[in-house]
Structure 1
Amino acid sequence: MKIRTGFGFDVHRLVEGRDLWLGGIKIEHSMGLLGHSDADVLIHAICDALLGAANMRDIGYHFPDTSGEFEHIDSKILLKKTVALIATKGYTVGNIDATVCAERPKLKNFIPQMQQVLAEVMDVDVEDVSIKATTTERLGFTGREEGISAYAVALISKGL
């Protein structure tokens, strides 16, 4: 059996007039994230972690923000495509551990739903999707509520 890990990071600016999508769910908030797709920073970080673990470059390489095909796309579709991409090299998702950094909205009540949605998209058990939320204690761009960032680590394997 071969086991590999990967790390992902993403950040998007908060703006008025956009929906806030995190972990594949829409969260009511006064602002949303700006991006070519739905700008779901959590899913984008997970995609990068999976692609990195498989040594398949990054989300921007596979789903460029210069392509009309991906404009306003639901990031759950990108995650599903990412899982299919790593499968072409024989890998399956083992587990995900991710952290979202945001001052507001408070995310703890949304985490179980995010875990369920992401587990379904990746075809893994909900126990294999860990999501945590934190603030930056009002420091930096996140603390000033200018944006939201996310970090993710993925474990993938093949040969089971």
Structure 2
Amino acid sequence: MKIRVGFGFDVHKLVEGRELWLGGIRIDHVMGLLGHSDADVLIHAICDAMLGAANMRDIGYHFPDTSADTLNIDSKILLRKTNGLISAKGYRIGNIDATVCAERPKINPHVPAMKACLADILQTDEDNISIKATTTEKLGFTGREEGISAYATVLIEKG
């Protein structure tokens, strides 16, 4: 069996007038993330990690923010397509370890729903997906609630 590991990172600005989507679910909050798509930082970080592990460049290469095809797209679609890309090379998800960094809203109450959503899209067991939450103790852009970031490490397997 061949295994590979990839790392992904994403950040988006918080703004009024947008819905907040994280891990494929909508979270009630006074602000949402600004982006060409629905700006789901968690899914974007996971996609980058998957693509990196498979040596397939990054999410912007496959789904550019200059394309009308990806304007306002649901990031769950991008994750499904990314899974298809790595599957075409013979890989499947081994496990995902991800962290969302936000002051508000609190992420932990939403983790079970995120895991269920991601596991369904990736056709893997929820036990293969770890989602953690942290803050920056009110430091930096995250601490000032100007944006949310996410980090992901993904192990993929072949054979």
TM-score range, shorter chain: over 0.9
1:92-117: CA deviations, max 9, x gaps? 11110000000000011000000000
- The SS at the match of 2:136 is coil
Aligned counterpart, 1:65: 65
Stretches of structure 1 that go unaligned for 5 or more consecutive residues are none
Distance 1:26 1:89 in 2: 31
- Letter of the 1:91 partner, please give it: Y
Question: Aligned-pair distance for 1:88?
Answer: 1.1
Aligned to 1:112: 112
Separation in 2, partners of 1:46, 1:155? 11
- Which residue does the alignment assign to 2:37? 37
Percent identical: 74
Q: Which runs of 5+ in 2 are unaligned?
A: none
The one-letter amino acid paired with 2:84 is A
Q: What letter matches 1:65 in structure 2?
A: D
**Which deviations, in whole Å up to 9, do the C-alpha atoms of 1:35-62 show, x marking residues without a partner?**
0000000000000000000000000000
Could you list the per-position Cα deviations for residues 111-150 of structure 1 after superposition, in whole angstroms to 9, with x for gaps in the alignment? 0000000000000000001000000000000000000000
Tell me the number of residue pairs that the alignment of Structure 1 and Structure 2 aligns: 159
Q: TM-score, structure 1 length as denominator?
A: 0.99
TM-score by length of 2: 1.00
For 1:11-41, what per-residue CA distance to the aligned partner results, in whole angstroms no more than 9, with x for missing partners? 0000000000000000000000000000000
2:5 corresponds in structure 1 to: 5
Aligned Cα root-mean-square deviation (Å): 0.3
